[in-house]
Structure 1
């Protein structure tokens, strides 16, 4: 899938249906990227979800950092500003959805009432996978009928509401302790990290760390670390010519045979099979390891 945007135009500018106005995948590393919710002369709603790096949001005077796997719901116009800060040192990469229509605004109000402006969604969560699917369909010229577009948007909003109703913590940012532990994993996965090190990064003992991960991530800390390592291994298999042994070492596995067993269990193929079978995919495709 290409990193691009898809814009939609409608003959009826007062379309009462639920209308997607744009959807896309972008990144920025410029401090000129700054949007003031009171300085825009149009009326619409926005969802933006961080894939890498981090963004910043000031909402009704309160500051939020929006790191990887978090996003925000906003109404425009409203009292907010979201922007990129170069102190982050890495580009802010995100996917987004812009929508409008008479029936969109009350449902968006319900979403924000349940979750607040900032939410935490796992990358494999239904709302996120649906966004990727909608972008793929748009890229294939499959979103051309205003009724189909309206139905897709309605289904997407319902998927968000369903997730928030079924998982009380789904719409809330991850606790800072979990964020610190995940940051350690995502930057130091190549080392032989221990549960004690992960718990120390979280600022809790290892037993409480396991309970927090079970509640908020749905996996043990070590299993989450393994998923991060395997996801990185998949990227290296797709984008480089490194040997399987070298990739195993660079992703924190000290035994290539064990790496192969873990890879097959999570991905459903050996590393070499994955490399051979996945050759038709572009480097921009995302793989989410469950």
Structure 2
């Protein structure tokens, strides 16, 4: 059996706001190699070059093989594992940014079906796109721009081959989806619901109704939940003080942050950190 390998590149500080490649690479996995269960903080497309494996989330379990493509959604817990007898080899590209969510909605990927099976899109187009991203890698701002350009081109391939009906449905982004994208991009700033509504281009009351229908919660509740989620990550992964973390995720009042955190998690930020370190 061919020896396993991993060639990867992770970008540094040259991240662009609209869309930016976070990492890119190739990997030939060992038998039964597994990632997860875990959560990514960015989107990541994997295209299977050879072999096979399993992709699993709380609602999806799918055996995939050569020519299939799957995506990791930020914030979704999942695991993926190579088969024992024929472990997969894949190429991947991870990305993030304000445009990422709306671009993915224009493809056949969805949270319910986070994969595209072989035959839907010419394999050579996906492989070529991922190779172009990898070859554009570098630690300069110019390289970051080049990688982003190639990422847009690859996503355009996925959009081009999306079924017409699904594509049209995805283009009709709801106000709530636009607000969600704005929150996830700007949560670290002291943004308000009025600012979110202004960005979307509707009134606060209209945004509230749209958000309740789509997310089953108000924009303010979603904003607070998303900030707490990011605070949990910083509590686990950094040594920043609680007050510094509060400020980093958009809370200007440390006391309000602690109350909001306890309301959601049932414990204080310090207790949360202590129990998970």
- With normalisation by structure 1, the TM-score equals 0.47
So what's the TM-score if we normalise by structure 2?
0.49
